[in-house]
Amino acid sequence: MADNAPTAPRTGSLLVAMLPVSALRLAARFFVPLALWYSAGAVVRYLLIQRISRLGHGGHPGIRAVVALLPLSVTVLASLVVTIGMMFTLGRGLSVIKDPAEAYVAAIGRTLFPFVLVYLGWNLYTDDLREVLRADAQRLADAGDGMNAGNILDLPIAMALVVAVVAWVLRALCERRHETRPGRVLELLIAFLEVNFTLYALYSIVALIRIGQHWIADRVFWQAITGALHLPGPGPVEDALILPLVWLAIAAIVYGLEMHDRAAIEGTPLQGLPDRLAGRPRRLAELTSRGMREKYVPVVHAVRLVFRAGAPAFAWFCLCYVAIGALMDRAQRGVVMLIGTDHTVRFWNLALTPIEFGHRLLAEILRLALLAAMFELVVRRVSGGRPAADRPEPVTGPGAGGA
């Protein structure tokens, strides 16, 4: 026994060091289905974004602006479905997955709703908004109407608030219905309403903040307050530490790891709080804290798992996560330099499209493969390397997460 004692730490360190190799193996093994998933999603996103651009311009601009955000909600959901499909494909190569033969449709229906909550809660949809604005500006510039670029998402605040309230009410009704008669279709509808509520409510809040900023921007007292309360932003910490952790929480959701409130706060001073809440006060507390719990509980659970796996493993994972983006950017610039700069603008307009597509395709495949490899590493280190047992159907519907 004494001779075998140092073997486990060395084996664990080797698993951590081999994390990028494991990710590359997963990416190479499932490259074709992953590329098909990503390509199909890119086509759907392109068609939806072009539709958004056309819906946002023309007669009745107020109504068009409201309607234009509806395809944007579908675009966000399409992105989530593709990401879930790619991660689930990678999950078939993980030894810790308890049900690798689960159908795609069942996996997407099981994970879409919690994925939406984390995705929206951490503002990961901003890339979708930027892509819509970029595509709209490009289309209008090609049509000689560049002056109207950037106005596609300009809609009256009152109309945005009305749509947000309607989406919230419908979501609450669907959630109440789901408590008595759960179903995959109802979960998809709740996810769609959740996306619409978040987008329209966020637009209204941002617009109101801008109006308030314009009103008090020149006030002396406001400058004094903002100067006194100025806090540094997260800066590169968000991309290097927080974002990988959030995506690791999403990977845990996709791969069927339960993340209920009790599991996240177990061993903390808050462990006994659910038992002290009873009846109507508890229901009120759950309603008022729902948004915070759905945003932070999965991430807190991911932090606990990473902490148990070890700080070196998480640091190495974050370094690899950031390195993928840096290396792929350098690879794209290398391809451009290899082609040479002695070409016309029309040539580059045609050539940059496949170059950017290949850059995004490889970066996404490598990033998701790294997440899958890290999830397997964490679970194996936490469980002592034991293989996964049979998994029952996890409870991840709108009513999950309560004590």
pLDDT tens-digit series, residues 241-283: 778 887 887 788 788 765 443 444 454 443 443 444 334 344 4
Phi-psi region of 144 (alpha: psi -120 to 50; beta: other; left: phi over 0): left
How deeply is 87 buried, as exposed, middle or buried, from its count of CB atoms within 10 A (0-12, 13-18, 19+)? buried
Residue 360 has pLDDT above 90, yes or no: yes
* pLDDT interval class at 304 (50, 70, 90): confident
Phi-psi region of 258 (alpha: psi -120 to 50; beta: other; left: phi over 0): beta
- Rounded distance, CA 186 to CA 398, Å? 10
Residue 69 has pLDDT above 70, yes or no: yes
Q: Which amino acid is at 166?
A: V
Q: Cβ neighbours of residue 137 under 8 Å, at least 6 residues apart?
A: 146, 149, 150
Position with higher pLDDT, 211 vs 162? 162
pLDDT tens per residue across span 53-68: 777 666 666 676 677 7
Of the ranges 46-50, 54-58, 183-187, the best mean pLDDT one: 46-50
Residue 290 has pLDDT above 60, yes or no: no
Query: Quick one: three-class SS letters along 241-287?
Result: HHHHHHHHHHHHHHCCCCCCHHHHHCCCCCCCHHHHCCHHHHHHHHH
pTM for this entry = 0.73
28-37, 101-110, 198-207, 330-339 — which is least confidently predicted?
Answer: 101-110
pLDDT tens per residue across span 369-382: 999 999 888 888 77
The answer to whether residues 252 and 298 touch, using CB atoms and an 8 Å cutoff, is yes
